[in-house]
Structure 1
């Protein structure tokens, strides 16, 4: 009798072991089954994000992503938003800005050039120094020239690097500190009513084609918000102090590619 009890107990334990093994194998097949994983993913809610331009919410997988911002469409990414920020620019906020005078909207674009240290872009990527400068983060010890400009507080609305990258520091609704003491067609204090655009360059070298293409796109976008913009170089509004954008800026090419009316280029198309 005792022998039969041992046989029954052994058979029961073998049966439990066999069931457990089959259960483990079944779970393993489910784990490696793509359809099973897909079904599980479908039940999980997708992350939602907000369009920077129109504030609509949409699934992250459907959004256009640029510089860690989200847009619901390419059109919204390629637009100047209601706060004065360009969707396709990298945003690097500068503390060097003010509000514009009441009831003043920009009607002038001032074109500059900047290079830090001067001419170094010819040998290596140097645009980060300009970004640091406009954000008051330039390390004065990094180059002897930086010690000369360490105390300056300046900015621009936009910078176009040698590779054509567009960076924005100040909303177009606000006043950037780019023009200094200046006068445009008898109007003083050009910062009050202008948008500053810096091209990375030193005045001794031609600008890159990529810079002209980005500038063309930028101007067309700005004109959709601010019609009848006029255009000048920094040397036009501060002739006793400044020479930029310099002889190598091709005003004829700029006018032809943007189709700006000649009346909106009061200083003409001659390189200067």
Structure 2
């Protein structure tokens, strides 16, 4: 692991500690360009970690501190996600598959982070999960099931009840209270990539299955 300190951080507020890991993509031309931006005081953004496409891991902010990666949003009805989370940026353009070396480094990092902070697999979320309509990362190409098979995230292996009310399932999973179409889009981005159109029975069935894991 390499260290690349960013000045963009502060103390976690109100005695909060990490209970979430928020996964992002950089959507920049290179990891080095992302490092420059995440350590630029004028940009006022940062993350705890950045993983390059070749698997290189950089730490920019100490885990005990509050990095500025999440922005506005909420999860499980709680705001100030920056104070409640560890942010991981992945070197990806938002369109391409995530590189195998990057994924291996991410898995190794999460395997240490989760027990160290007693974060459950349910606490590993997408930036788009906590900020529906505002963010789309890490996007539809990210392999959540791969993480779930190692106990590093959640993924439903079979659909649940197609008659379960979607809103109640999304509440239980943790999605914030925003417009229904934004919540549905964020849920699909994570658990039903490629799905379009009005709410469907499969949306309800998959959401019910995820809610049962939450």
Taking structure 2 as the reference length, what is the TM-score of the superposition? 0.70
| Shift, 1:204, TM fit | 0.6
Which has the larger Rg?
Answer: 1
Distance (whole Å) between structure 1 residues aligned to residue 31 and residue 103 of structure 2: 17
Counterpart Cα distance in 2 of 1:167 and 1:271: 31
Q: How does 1:27-46 map to 2 (within 5 A)?
A: none
1:240 aligns with 2:133: yes
Quote the Cα distance in structure 1 between the aligned partners of 2:124 and 2:114: 11
Write out aligned runs for 1:3-42 (5 A): none
1:270 paired with 2:178, answer no
Q: Does residue 101 of the first structure (1) align with residue 13 of the second (2)?
A: yes
- Rounded to whole Å, the distance in 2 between the matches of 1:201 and 1:181 is 22
Match of 2:63 among 167, 172, 183: 172
Structure 1 Cα separation of the partners of residues 37 and 58 of structure 2: 13
Distance 2:65 2:93 in 1: 27
Task: State whether residues 252 and 270 of structure 1, in contact with CA within 8 Å, keep that contact through their aligned partners in structure 2.
Answer: no
Question: What TM-score, normalized by structure 1, do the two folds share?
Answer: 0.55
Deviation at 1:152, TM superposition (A): 2.4
Q: State the 1:253 CA deviation.
A: 1.0
Aligned equivalent of 1:158: 49
RMSD, aligned CA: 2.1
Q: Secondary structure of 1:253's match?
A: helix
Give the structure with the higher percent strand: 1
Q: Post-superposition shift, 1:260?
A: 4.3
| Residues 160, 167 of structure 1: 8 Å contact kept | yes
Please tell me whether the aligned partners of residues 53 and 92 of structure 2 are also in contact (alpha carbons under 8 angstroms): yes
CA contact (8 A) 1:154 1:178 kept: yes
Relative to 1, partners in 2 of residues 1:243 and 1:262: Cα closer, same or farther, differing over 3 Å? Answer: closer
Gaps of 5+ in 2: 157-172, 175-186, 194-214
Give 4+ residue runs of structure 1 displaced > 2 Å after superposition.
Answer: 257-263, 265-269
Aligned residue number for residue 114 of structure 1: 26
What are the Cα deviations for residues 46-94 of structure 1, in whole angstroms up to 9, with x where unaligned?
A: xxxxxxxxxxxxxxxxxxxxxxxxxxxxxxxxxxxxxxxxxxx211110
- Name structure 1 gaps, 5 residues minimum: 1-88, 121-125, 138-150
In the alignment, is residue 211 of structure 1 matched against residue 123 of structure 2?
no
1:131 and 2:35 are equivalent in the alignment: yes
**Count of residues in Structure 1 that have an aligned counterpart in Structure 2:** 162
